[in-house]
Amino acid sequence: MIPTSFLTAMNTIAMAMIGLTLIAITTISVTTVAMTVSYARRRRVPSIRSSIRSRASSGITPQITPRAISRIISRMTALLAASVFLFCAPRSNAAVNVDMSVSHAGPRAVEPLLERGILRDYRIAWISLAHALEFNAADALSGPFVSTARDTLMNNVSSQRRSGLSTRYLNQNHKVEAVYYAPEGDVIELHDAADYQLQILDGGKLIHDEHVVMHYVVLMTPAADHWVVRQLQAVPQF
């Protein structure tokens, strides 16, 4: 669950930064205009611009010049851009699209709430998988995967560390169909027709780059408050 919480934290921080920056820009702009107008009125100068010009011509440096205002606004804009980038960057890395169909699931029907939960948890599982295998971070696998699926992916990470390899799963699209849902609701089997850009790197060198279409058989079981992937097995076809 580390990647998920990490992404959430990043998004929260970015959102907070965006909000604070917007507030700061608005406040500074309003205050600046108000102060300038107030100053112009005090000096009985017909306009703000002429007020500033008259102060400049009289040799008095104005307290708030247009250049200062533009500098402040440009800095705030840069901060806003950085915040927007911070907000967007994690999401672009974690581009995982999952479509799910449960119409053929049986013998037990999958209710809409459950469907949403499984879709959410399966998507999180793939985000975690991609993160773990790109950065060789085994911790990312602990939450969404258990049993065989977790062991296999852990082996992948440790093997990649030894070999100096990493794997990227980019632009993931998953079309998931629930094919079996147990009578007591303790296991669900999914068929996932996934396509993504698979990149394998040796250090920084790209040794394999291919757009692949994969078929996965997935077993998920309920945990305390979410569903976990117990089996993730690629097959030639369904």
Partner 1 sequence: MRRENHPGRGFAAAAKAAVGRESGSAAVNRCATQNRIRLAFYFCLSVALSTLSASISAAQDLRAPSAVTAGEAVSISTTGSGKATFYLVGPGVSNKSDVALGNEISLRGQDLRDAGQYFAILCSDSCHSASFFVAPAKPASLAFLVHPSRVPVAASDAVSGVALAFDQFGNLNLDPGTINFQLTAGKTSLLSRDVAAHDGVAWFRTTSGKSAGPLQVVASIGELSARRNVQEVASEPCNLRIAGQRTKDGLVVQTEPVHDCAGNPVPDGTIVSFTATDASGKSTVDAPIKHGIARAEIAASGPVVVSVASGVAMGNELHIGGGQ
Can you give the binding site for partner 1, defined by CB under 8 A?
107, 147-148, 151-153, 155-156, 159-160, 162-165, 167, 179-180, 182-184, 186-187, 189, 191, 200, 202, 207-208, 210, 214, 217, 219, 231, 233-236
Give the Cα separation of 81 and 233 in Å (integer): 42
Smallest separation, CB 105 to partner 1 (Å): 11
Specify the residue, 58 or 184, whose C-beta has the smaller distance to partner 1.
184
- AA letter at 195: D
Specify the residue, 46 or 202, whose C-beta has the smaller distance to partner 1.
202
Specify the residue, 99 or 151, whose C-beta has the smaller distance to partner 1.
151
Specify the residue, 117 or 222, whose C-beta has the smaller distance to partner 1.
222
Specify the residue, 147 or 171, whose C-beta has the smaller distance to partner 1.
147
Smallest separation, CB 124 to partner 1 (Å): 20
Specify the residue, 31 or 158, whose C-beta has the smaller distance to partner 1.
158
Smallest separation, CB 197 to partner 1 (Å): 14
Radius of gyration, alpha carbons of the chain: 27
Smallest separation, CB 157 to partner 1 (Å): 9
Give the Cα separation of 197 and 170 in Å (integer): 5
Smallest separation, CB 113 to partner 1 (Å): 21
